[in-house]
A and B are shown apart, each in its own frame.
Chain A
């Protein structure tokens, strides 16, 4: 078994967000494409540095909300006009203004559920195992340290050259990430 077959990538550790953003941008400028950054809080500048595409999440939420809206209204409409019509003094069965609160609540409920479930699904969570956790110092990624991982599947990945690049970019430590 060759060593690179068992290798997920190279993980570089940085001390502050500025060096992480700088390193991410430089690595991309060097031509690396398969890389990800890990940080203890969201860093807006990374989106641009890593060329992260806009997420489809808002569209999912919109669709969820529309389904909730239609579903909520049709529920009221169907119950009040078809399955359980109550004739009270000849008032219209489709009394739509009275259906607005339920329609609204269903819209919010479905939109919120699609926001959360959509975010988790697009992120591939829950994920019980991921190779990055094999790096001993990675527990600092949720505390005070910033990480950049160049993955071994990147066409430009070369163990020594990539390691040297990460070192040049100011990493305080570069470690191999094994599967």
Chain B
């Protein structure tokens, strides 16, 4: 084992594993990361990216406007495929969000130091992904202005939610998840906001960062409680993230539709969520580190570790597919058997096989060490996995619904322009929020970067 470590360190084609570049100091780390948020000049590339994202957000706004004025009939979903793009996209976005919580909470509890430089924007990604996810079920209710009916409150109608339904569990799970993710993100930001307050030159920036930092002064007593709170939040977020996607999978598993009614769904959904989330972190991290020259902070080691997690979770997902297929055969249930045959050879077979290609076959390239060190390749693979995970939800939802028990009620599902515009629009919203975030807030946790520098160690032997 030791030999292998040394071998990889001496291999000149691969940089030695480190979580932060050599020669960094407290000041240099602080200045480098805070300068991105505090710079007077916004890079032209930012305007280009943010501009395109903003246009796509406008497409979303237009779609929502048209949808609210007309009704959800503008979408392609109808009986029997009552759930389609809206729920596919909801599950896809929520799943992407899960990697943020995993990186910030679970890797914190496991004392994985390499999480430090990617946790902040992964958490931001979670927050924005949950915001995008929430839009879909909200609009799918048809009358989003009555969405507060989802919550239990003493209404004059005397009607209360059905607490035995996974759909109401979803309301609680997703709203709790959004709240806790926001809290976790904000608590992590407080010391960095204080840094920005102290580093900002412009008066308005000073005031805004100052108000957000709430008077943080880095007192040892405050740090003590802060660390306790952060650790407790991580401990709370860990079971939460597992519960959220479990509840999302219950939306399907509790139903009796062939292909949905299976007990493997919760773990298989959670693994899929982490898989797609890490793919999205990679998709975002690779251009960011290149554009802002953050190779010293988001090192090859980070990318390699993420590639390994992708490989592992991808294999769990593959196991999930195998179990599904096996159960369909072993259950000797005609409808389950037909569902699986229909998936593999029916009208949506190309989608199913593309999903297998994207999620199972192509990511196997990550077994090779050279592949894990090739940034361009990792970027391409991460995008393929994102696509694959979207296709997975399409297969689960559409192929199960379009041919169920009665052949007389079979039908094909055809998405309309508005289905696509809504989906692409949320990608625009997600990227717009992300562009605003990297422009105005530190995208890497500055105070946590300081703690992993060698200078941060206290040498007590002097006395």
Interface 9-mer from A1-9, A75-83, A156-164: A75-83
For the complex formed, measure the closest distance between the CB of B146 and the CB atoms of chain A, giving whole angstroms: 18
Partner of A116, one of B183, B220, B463: B183
Cβ-defined contact, A130 with B217, below 8 A: yes
Distance, CA A127 to CA B266, complexed state (A): 44
Evaluate whether A130 and B229 lie within 8 angstroms (CB atoms) in the complex, with A112-B236, A139-B198 already known. no
- Is A57 an interface residue, CB under 8 A from the partner? yes
Closest to A148 in B: B220
Distance between Cα atoms of A41 and B199 in the complex (Å): 16
A43 touches B162 (CB 8 A): no
Complex Cα gap A83–B163 (Å): 13
Closest chain B residue to A24, Cβ basis = B220
Q: Is B173 part of the binding interface, using a Cβ–Cβ cutoff of 8 Å?
A: yes
Whether, in the assembled complex, A67 has its beta carbon less than 8 Å from a beta carbon of chain B, the answer is: no
* B214: chain A residues within 8 A (beta carbon): 120, 125-127
**A-chain residues with CB within 8 Å of residue B27 when the two chains form the complex:** 143-144
| A63 on interface, CB distance cutoff 8 Å | no
Complex Cα spacing A104 to B228, Å = 22
Looking at chain B's contact residues, the main secondary structure is helix
A165 within 8 A of B: no
Residues of B within 8 A of A39 (CB): 218, 220, 223
Contact B220 A22 (CB under 8 A): no
Query: Are the C-beta atoms of B198 and A130 separated by less than 8 Å?
Result: no
Report the bound CA distance from A58 to B222 in whole Å. 15
Query: CB < 8 Å: which of A50, A84, A104 contacts B220?
Result: A50
Q: Among A75, A128, A142, which residue has its beta carbon within 8 angstroms of that of B218?
A: A142
Which residues of B from 218 to 233 have beta carbons under 8 Å from A?
A: 218-229, 232-233
User: For the side of the interface on A, what is the size category?
Assistant: 35 or more
Is A36 touching B458 in the complex (CB atoms < 8 A)?
A: no
Sorting the interface of chain B by its residue count into under 10, 10 to 19, 20 to 34 or 35 or more gives 35 or more
* B350 interface residue per 8 A CB criterion: no
Interface residues of A in 127-142 (CB under 8 A from B): 127-130, 132-133, 138-142
Cβ of A87 to closest chain B Cβ, rounded Å: 13
Residues on A with beta carbons closer than 8 Å to the beta carbon of B345: none
- Chain B residues closer than 8 Å to A55, beta-carbon distance: 224-225, 228
CB of B240 within 8 Å of the partner chain: yes
Say yes or no: is A106 at the interface (Cβ < 8 Å to chain B): yes
A173 at the interface (CB under 8 A from B): no
Nearest Cβ on chain A to B152's Cβ, whole angstroms = 6
Residue from A52, A61, A126, A139 within 8 A of B224 (CB atoms)? A52
Interface pair B217/A141, CB less than 8 Å apart:
yes
Residue in B closest to A116 when the chains form the complex, CB atoms: B183
A18-B458, A102-B172, A119-B225 known; A143 vs B195 contact (CB < 8 Å): yes
Which one of A52, A132, A133, A144 lies within 8 Å of B25 (CB-CB)? A144
Query: B191's closest neighbor in chain A, by CB?
Result: A142
Where the two chains meet, the residues of B that have a C-beta atom closer than 8 Å to any C-beta of A are 25-27, 30-31, 152, 158-164, 166, 168-169, 172-173, 176, 179-180, 183-184, 186-187, 191, 194-195, 197-199, 211, 214-229, 232-233, 236-237, 239-240, 243, 247, 250, 447-448, 450-451, 455-460, 462-463
Beyond known contacts A99-B163, A144-B26: 10 more, CB 8 A cutoff? A37-B219, A39-B220, A40-B218, A40-B447, A52-B220, A101-B173, A126-B215, A142-B218, A143-B26, A143-B199
In the assembled complex, 9 residue pairs joining A and B whose CB atoms fall closer than 8 Å, in A order, are A22-B462, A40-B26, A55-B224, A79-B152, A83-B160, A98-B163, A112-B183, A142-B194, A142-B216
